[in-house]
A and B are shown apart, each in its own frame.
Chain A
Amino acid sequence: MGTVIQEVFRYRFHVLRWQLVQVEVVDFPKPWLLFHLMVGLSLGYMAFAFFRKWLGWGRGIGEAASGPRDYKRSSMVWLIEVFVQRQLFAFSFPRWLIHILIFYGFLGLALLPVAAIVLRAGGYLAVSNTLPHHYLHPEGYFFVKIWGDSFGLLLLIGLASASIRRTLLPEVRQTSNQLDVVLLGLLLSVTLSGFFLEGLRLASLPAEIVRYSYVGSLFSPPGTHTLEQLRPWLTACWTFHALLVAILITYLPHSKLRHSLLAPIVIGLNAAEEYKREDLYWPDMKKYSETRSPQD
């Protein structure tokens, strides 16, 4: 157990090209059995819960799928509603910004392993078996760090803004219930514990490596620390972060967060049916801004 030297490709800015370099991997004891148990059980439970929901939906009346008459337009409607979230934008820019930060923060982090696979296929990541390797042995190499920190930052700003908005604005506070607060707290805890874990890991690394983790490094404890000093904290933080993720995965099918999976389906179904409605999908922004809610 200790610092492991590993060879990876890294883009060197000063020479503007990819070079094979050696990086130090911060290794510390991890309760793998507990990890696999927690993640395996939570993922299995989430799959089971959605499977039960799927069975439950099967109780309903089946409708013949007619499909949209204009696939191009209904697809455009779907893309704009899901990825641009025009509806939210039309109603409230701050709300749209907060939601888009959380949405793209999550999406970016979820796509990180996909991007890593693509880069490995292109020969840019010289680590074998990239997907599990990234998760189980975070080396801190440049691409993963910049990507992860950037999208993590979007997520963090979005969640922090949502928390502030929910706390400070009376009309938003009134519409919140305890479950909304619990979910927001859980998401913030997952994000923050991830950054704290990264900060701890970076605390024993040289500045040349750390600079790519431009957000995580802000969470490093002040002063200089040896890996020996940090190791118990790293193990605790790693375990805590994994536990929070497992809780989030378990809670997802029972929380409003399930809209992240179901909303695109519902929007798609509606877009296939009502894509022609100009009052719904291609509204004149001026008309929208003129017709505000009395509560606005």
Chain B
Amino acid sequence: MARYEKILGNKIAAGLTRRQLIEVNACARCGECRMWCPVYAQDEREEITARGKLDSLRRFVDGALTESGRKDFINALYECSACGQCHVVCPVRINTHELWEQARLSLVNAGIPQPAGQVKQLAAIKEFDNPLGKPRNERSRWAQAAWEAGLLKSPVPLWRERPAPVIYFAGCMASYEPALQPIAVQSARLLQEAGVDFAILGEDEPCCMSKLRRMGDPAFPREAQKRADQFTRMGVDTIVVSCAGCYKGLYSDYARFWPRPQKVVHFSQYLDRLVQEGRIHLKRRTPLVVTYHDPCHLGRHNQVYDQPRRVLRSVPGVELVEMPRHRAFSSCCGMGGGLKTVSPEIQHKMAEARVREANSTGAEAIVTPCQTCYLGLINGVKEAGSSGMKIFHLNELLMRSLCPDIAHESVANALARTAP
């Protein structure tokens, strides 16, 4: 048994970097991560905290973790949204979220698969090029439907028919998920309002595959390389990404495969530029007290904090109040890192906690520039019951000021009417 544990430990160690093996040993057990961990706040088990996981992983690679300890560690590793809060608060600066993702990969390479739900989702991503298992030819249906419903000023061109310097990368969820398609429509409309010469990839838009990295799938480097090569061949100038998860994938995760990540910008950053340049004129007052939810992939992971806030402040009538935990300390809504697939109830509780935090500020609505957080926070509102809190995507506030007829609900209704 001890020999088996040693062999397994060696396999896990071989999948981590040397720096990560040092980090595993460097934990000071101060417990700061425990105080801030949004998952631990909902499920108070020591093994869930970064401190607990580091201790288990250290013993795992040393071949000293018992079978039950291994089970607890593996559960805890996947019951983590890899939000990176523990990295920000760690006095030793252990790069935790990178470590969790690498540990997941290492476990898979050692023959320990992800939880069943994640395995199923990963299979769908690899087979259909999207996590929803939808056919490729439906990817740009939102654009066609929006044009037919009169929601756009002009049809959105496909890049392969009319290459443009800017590509709008809607991402899988906004392309296929009916609740999120209005975000893609509003993004396209905003770009049209600003006079941006852009195109979409349509059927050629690939899934960013960042979920493969989040969940530790060994196919990620190969798939990422393919997509990086595709963008390089296209010679695009700027890729404007709507989803914070896709942004982290293309901007950060691809960095080692694609030496031109500067061409990737998040939609909120691009909007900020357009507003600053005076290309978007927000005139109509939208009296609303809002609070801003920093998506982990955008804020903590890529330090995009100020641009979305500047955009929000530029909307006439909008008053921004901050939650107690904001910017680098923003509490995760639980939608990242594959946590929702493994434990939807924890995600709901995390989002509920975030909604309650927002309620404490007196805000009427939570605004986020991430479509995944948007979905997650809606779960939180349902969980919180009669909180009265509204959840808005950043686009929504701009559209309310710019063209109120393109508000989320009316777009969703119009798209539903055109659905086959």
Residues of A in contact with B (beta carbons under 8 Å apart): 53, 56-63, 81, 85, 87-88, 91, 172, 175, 180, 256, 258-259, 262-263, 265-267, 269-271, 274, 277-280, 283, 287, 290-296
Contact = CB atoms under 8 A, between A and B. Distances in A.
Given A180-B29, A295-B35, 8 more contacts: A60-B13, A172-B31, A256-B28, A262-B26, A266-B26, A290-B326, A292-B324, A294-B325
B32 A91 contact: yes
Interface of B: 10, 13-23, 25-29, 31-32, 34-36, 41, 61-62, 88-89, 91-95, 299-300, 303, 305, 322, 324-329, 357
Given A60-B13, A262-B25, A294-B41, A271 B18 contact: no
Given A61-B16, A278-B303, A287 B93 contact: no
A87 B94 CA distance: 13
A287 B327 contact: yes
B91 A85 contact: yes
Nearest to A257: B28
B26 A259 contact: yes
A256 B92 CA distance: 12
A56 B328 contact: no
Contacts of B20: 60
B17 A290 contact: no
B23 A266 contact: yes
A60 B13 CA distance: 5
B28 A56 contact: no
A266 B93 CA distance: 7
Contact of A56 (B21, B32, B35, B89): B21
A58 B92 contact: no
A48 to B, nearest CB: 15
Contacts of A85: 91
Given A91-B32, A265-B26, A280-B88, A56 B62 contact: yes
B360 to A, nearest CB: 10
> Top 6 closest A-B pairs, CB basis?
A262-B26, A175-B31, A291-B329, A279-B328, A270-B93, A259-B28
Given A175-B34, A291-B325, A292-B324, A60 B14 contact: yes
Contact of B28 (A91, A172, A263): A263
A279 B29 CA distance: 23
Nearest to B300: A279
A291 B324 contact: yes
B10 A59 contact: yes
B14 A265 contact: no
Contact of A265 (B17, B22, B41): B22
A87 B30 CA distance: 12
A51 B208 CA distance: 42
Contacts of B18: 57-58, 60-63
A175 B20 CA distance: 24
